[in-house]
Amino acid sequence: MYNRKHIGIHEVVFGKDCTVVEPSNLYRCTLGDDVFVGPFVEIQSNVTIGNHCRIQSHSFICSLVTIGNHVFVGHGVMFINDTFSCGGPAQGNEQLWKKTVIENHVSIGSNATILPVHICSHVVIGAGAVVTKNITEPGVYAGNPAVKIR
């Protein structure tokens, strides 16, 4: 015996000219105008994505993420809202989840991991970077943990 969950697109608010390549799993989120979502992407509830954004394949955008305009999210980028503040997973206790804000004109390289942070506008995050702290100054950031490299 097993429980089967249907993936798909449910209760999504779409702007004009959006493209979603299936299979993808989007639910109770909002996409702005001219947003592209590649295959094998999950965008959870309470996510807002601004205008002219590209979300590449195999990326995961968890609840409580806000993405501004003209943002590129590379392949396999993982957003995290649970910091294991109690020593383990929040296990459905959404009050322990934290928000992430990505401002405008941000590019996030493939396989980056974004913890609950605020990233200002005009930032490039290198491939494979792990962003553990707020980024308040435009520039290029890379590494684990991500630091400004130029």
User: How many Å apart are CA 31 and CA 11, to the nearest integer?
Assistant: 11
pTM score? 0.94
Which pLDDT does position 87 carry in this prediction?
85
User: How many Å apart are CA 25 and CA 145, to the nearest integer?
Assistant: 29
Taking alpha carbons only, the member of 97, 101, 56, 60 closest to residue 75 is 56
Place of tokens 């980056």: 112
Which pLDDT does position 92 carry in this prediction?
73
- The string of pLDDT tens digits covering residues 74-108 is 999 999 999 888 888 888 788 899 999 999 999 99
Mean pLDDT of 137-142: 98
Mean pLDDT of 33-50: 98
Parallel, antiparallel or unpaired: strands 72-73 and 106-108: parallel
All structural domains of the chain, each given as residue ranges with its CATH number in brackets, are: 9-148 (2.160.10.10)
Which pLDDT does position 116 carry in this prediction?
97
CB 21 within 8 A of CB 5: no
